[in-house]
Amino acid sequence: MSTETGRVGEWSLFGHSLRRVVLYGILAGMGVFYLIPIETGIMTSIINPASYTGSFPYLPPLEPLVPGTGTFSLEPWQGAIDGLGQGLVNSVILVVPATIFSGLLGSMAAFGLTTISWRGQIGIYILFVAGIFIPYQAVLVPLTQFWYNVVPLQAVFEPLAVLPFVQEYHWKLVALIITHTAYGLPICTLLFRAHYKKLSDEMVEAAQLDGASVATIYRRIILRCRSRCSRSCSSTSSPRSGTTCCSRSPSSSSAMQRSSPRIWSVSASPSRGRTSRCGWPPHCWLRCRRCWCTSSSAISSPRGSLHSMTTDSTGGTHPWQN
């Protein structure tokens, strides 16, 4: 926040203030600290084991040029792939469905607990959030009992093993997928809820006034808004003008005819300043192909935003008010 560059009377080095030089020195040093274990591991992994001396584990293999660094070889990688191939396949079988199910169910749960507002939802949501913090050891023995003694999943897979690509041991992977989905759900719900809170209410309200069902709102609005928002919440593209009128009248929309018309409450809080834009006025919600958030959060952590529970998104303008 405080730039001291070029302050009168400060020590300087090559035209930069000494303060800045020291600052960048520390930052770079910390960068080395965070990178060097990874770098060392990668460098060592491409050294021919026969020529490995261990004196310079952090240097790339430059044997003819620099003695003691070893010669280049992909032999360790070959060995790792041979040895871990089955594990890699199993990882993919486990990770892909578990991630998809966690994300899908988490998004659904967050929608049911955020966009639609009803009494007691916060209690349900607290149970979801608390699930993030449960140490796995606290549930291990019952889970072992459950999958080995209660659910006969192994017996189900014994006859299935004659099918191509199905092995008997896959029952363990299926059990892991289901369990892992359950344990990935809480954090997914938290992340999706943080995004849904940022979406504007106008579109949802307009859809509700048109009598759209809960499922229609999820499918036609939330899923489309999510695709952009979950990637990044800072938008540089400007939305189309707010005066644009949709050519189709909302009253002729299919959702209107399909679902029972009823107004229900939206969790609206004007103070939070949720601003998502679609490019269409809210009443044209059916025309919306994708929309994006305009509230720019300064930082998006790659692990998601646990801290978004403490840092409220600020500001943003309502596109339809000006």
Partner 1 sequence: MRNPLTVLKRRLSEHREVRTDGGTTSAGSILDRDSVRSAPFWLPPFLLIGLFIYGAIAWNIVLSLTDFQGLGSPDYSALDFENYVVAFFGGTPSWSELTVSPIWNSAWNTVVLMVSFSVVCLALGLVLAILVDQEIRFENTFRTIYLLPMSLSFVVTAKFWLYMYNVETGLVNLFLGAVGVGPVEIVQNPDLKLAAVAFALIWQFSGYAMIVYLAGLRAIPTSHFEAARVDGASTLRMYWRVIIPQLRTATVSALVVLTVFSLKAFDFLFSMYGGYQPGPSADILATRMVREAYSNGNWAYGSAIAVILFIMALAIVTPYIYSQYKRGEL
Q: Which of residues 69-98 bind partner 1 (CB under 8 A)?
A: none
Q: CB of 228: closest distance to partner 1 in angstroms?
A: 20
CA torsion sign for 225, 227, 231, 232 is negative
Residue 8 engages partner 1 in binding (rule: CB under 8 A): no
Q: CB of 168: closest distance to partner 1 in angstroms?
A: 22
Residue 29 engages partner 1 in binding (rule: CB under 8 A): no
- Only one of the segments 7-15, 159-167, 208-216, 237-245 lies at the binding site for partner 1 (rule: CB under 8 A); that segment is 208-216
How far from chain centre, in Å, is Cα 176? 21
| Neighbouring C-beta atoms of residue 230, cutoff 10 Å | 16
Q: Which of residues 277-296 bind partner 1 (CB under 8 A)?
A: none
CB 180 within 8 A of CB 101: no
Q: Which of residues 248-277 bind partner 1 (CB under 8 A)?
A: 261-272
21: part of which helix (H) or strand (E)? helix 18-45
Residue 139: what residue type? Answer: V
In the set 83, 87, 119, 236, which binds partner 1 (CB under 8 A)?
Answer: 119
Q: CA separation (Å) from 131 to 126, 161, 190, 232?
A: 9, 35, 10, 26
Q: CB of 200: closest distance to partner 1 in angstroms?
A: 15
In the set 35, 84, 88, 223, which binds partner 1 (CB under 8 A)?
Answer: 35
Classify residue 34 by its DSSP letter: H
DSSP state letters, 190-243: HHHHHHHHHS-HHHHHHHHHTT--HHHHIIIIIHHHHHHHTT-S---SPPPPTT
- Smaller CB separation from partner 1, 128 or 279: 128
Q: CB of 163: closest distance to partner 1 in angstroms?
A: 27
Q: Residues 41-70 vs partner 1: string with x where CB under 8 A?
A: x--x---------xx-xx------------
